[in-house]
Structure 1
Amino acid sequence: MSTRQTHPAGPRPVDEDLVLRLIAAQFPRWAGLAVERYPSGGTVNAMFRLGDDMVVRLPLGEGGVQDVSTEREWLPRLAARLPTAVPEVLGHGEPAAGYPWPWSVYRWLEGENPEAGALREPLLLAGDLACFVAAMRSITLPGAPVAHRGGPLASLDASTRAAVEELRRIPEEGVDCDAVLAVWEDALSTPDRGGPPVWLHGDLMPGNLLVDRAGRLTSVIDFGCVGRGDPACDLFPAWNLLPAGAREVFREALGVDDATWNHGRARTLSQALIALPHYRGTNPAMADNARHVVRAVLGERQGR
């Protein structure tokens, strides 16, 4: 399992000893099970395997606390409505032992994160992803939160332009800043689709997807961004994961119009442009995926 990309302030160190103490005090039935930190490229949560079939997930900073309550409320209600497995909350942990935030125990989900450029069945995976996104869009549960990334595209303008200017000062990254700005400005000038908001996962990064040995999607994890918003927000896999041919399969399966596709591409690009200077020295997985997005977006625009 993995965690979503964000920019938390002041991550709090946690370790196996803390998790053992929290489990022993709050879930004595699981005391004595092995605890091992699980490596992850995410920055919002720390994760620890608990025995063979559970995982403990603890926010590293206050910015991840809302995700805990969001998942506790919505995952049980969404699970039966989705075509893939999603995390199942088994235990609601509370602040204790010097740890100041709520935390959760989940059932372990088997699988591995797909890697852009190394997909076993990209066309089939594209269909699986489209099926998941379509199922999310079809949900009609009332009382939905506002999706973390579901607001207007223009709300990302200042941060996107600032990231481009920062990348101009890092020539070794080789980003064609004028080209990415042209993509961004083209999307800003494209009118919104004008339809109602839809249910979104909101963070369909490769680290939040699990595939089996055959390369098929088995699980989607990390629903901290879930809610209703712009459907373009769940088009991220088209550029952060899928090659060109599979990208078209994904688009056709969802029936995405030109304006929504344009906005989805720009949103994915914006996320990558902001992530690259931030993570290039600290998180190789996120920086590499950001570079992949920039190449994929510019390649698509140039017809490659």
Structure 2
Amino acid sequence: MHTGQLTVSEPVVRRLVGEQFPQWRELPVTEIASPGTVNAIFRIGDGLAARFPLKDGEPDGIRRWLEAEAEAARELAGSTRFRTPEPVVIGEPGAGYPLPWAVQTWLPGVTATDDDPAASVLFARDLAEFIGGVRALDTRGRTFGGSGRGGDLRAHDVWMETCFERSEHLLDVPRLRRLWADLRGLPRTDADRMTHGDLIPGNVLVAEGRLAGVLDTGGLGAADPALDLVAVWHLLDAGPREVVREALACDDLQWQRGRAWAFQQAMGLVWYYLDSNPTMSRMGRRTLDRVIR
């Protein structure tokens, strides 16, 4: 999926686990098929998950990133009634794998990629409760300070232009350019709130049409409160989307900014992952279909 992407296999993970955490040496290690783009995931026994970064980097920088993810996961754990992974330990490079890696608790459930909750009103209510619960966390004076989604929409103009150029043969780009021109300058008056930051189907667990848990909590942080509304376009049909809007009392501007953030994310998925991760590419197309209706 990425230039210079790292590979890691079950035998390598077994060796790393056995050498560094002998208390888990006898537990089975199983690679988990996932459309995720950041980490390779391996299950250790019944209760643990090991995450191995796929993009190469400087080990100390990766360690700081993993430590920040763990801190965010600890902050979110138990703050809502929905389960989220809890950090366990950070592993060391070895056995041919060059970077630190992380172990966290394993959550049961099926991702929304495989168990589609799009028409479920009960899931929509759960999703609104989760978003509202995250928003209620204390920012402790933190504000958005990154370069990713959650700040100024207009800061993404260059990336969106790249996406439009790369998508000429895939999408109705003139129509999408017009939509971005309308959305990019939406005003904002609400203050930064805490957000999960990446509520896409692969990070959402479903059981019997309800929200069972939320993964990939390392992006927790202060941002535009509309950011987590990307989930309603990634995950829900029109009727359940309105359930979320009503439950969160979103005004028109906040709702449209959520639509804009979903649009920005989806535009990058379709062309970038067209061949390397078809699941993510299809997700982008589905979200764009919802955004432009």
C-alpha distance in 1 between matches for 2:203 and 2:11: 27
Q: List structure 1 segments (4+ residues) > 6 angstroms apart after TM superposition.
A: none
TM norm structure 2:
0.91
Specify the alignment match of 2:197 in structure 1.
202
Deviation, 1:105, is 1.5
Task: Give the distance between the partners of 2:51 and 2:162, measured in 1 at CA.
Answer: 33
Q: Provide structure 2 residue ranges, at least 5 long, that are not aligned to the other structure.
A: none
Q: How many corresponding residue pairs?
A: 287
Shift in Å, 1:190:
2.2
Q: 2:39 aligns to what? A: 45
Matched, 1:154 2:150: no
Q: Please tell me whether the aligned partners of residues 10 and 29 of structure 2 are also in contact (alpha carbons under 8 angstroms).
A: yes
1:218 partner SS: strand
CA distance in 2: counterparts of 1:182 and 1:100, whole angstroms: 44
Equivalent of 1:217 in 199, 206, 211: 211
CA contact (8 A) 2:267 2:284 kept: yes
Q: 1:45 to 1:143 in 2, by over 3 A?
A: farther
Equivalences for residues 1-304 of structure 1 within 5 A: 9-62=3-56, 65=62, 67-115=65-113, 118-119=116-117, 122-142=120-140, 144=142, 146=145, 148-168=148-168, 170=169, 173=170, 175-192=171-188, 194-212=189-207, 214-299=208-293
CA-based RMSD: 2.1
Offset of residue 88 of structure 1: 1.4
Does structure 2 retain, via aligned residues, the 8 Å contact 1:90–1:107? yes
SS in 1 for 2:217: coil
The offset of 1:146, in angstroms, is: 4.1
Tell me the percent identity: 39
* TM-score, normalisation: structure 1: 0.88
C-alpha distance in structure 1 between counterparts of 2:91 and 2:141, whole Å: 25
Letter in 1 for 2:176: V
Compute the displacement of 1:15 (Å): 0.6
When structure 1 is superposed on structure 2, of 114-123 and 227-236 the one drifting more is 114-123
In 1, distance between residues paired with 2:176 and 2:99? 39
The whole-number CA distance in structure 1 between the counterparts of 2:36 and 2:178 is: 30
- 1:131-163 deviation per Cα after TM superposition (whole angstroms, max 9, x unaligned): 111111110053757464222111111111221
Q: Which runs of 5+ in 1 are unaligned?
A: 1-6, 300-304
Distance 1:258 1:269 in 2: 16
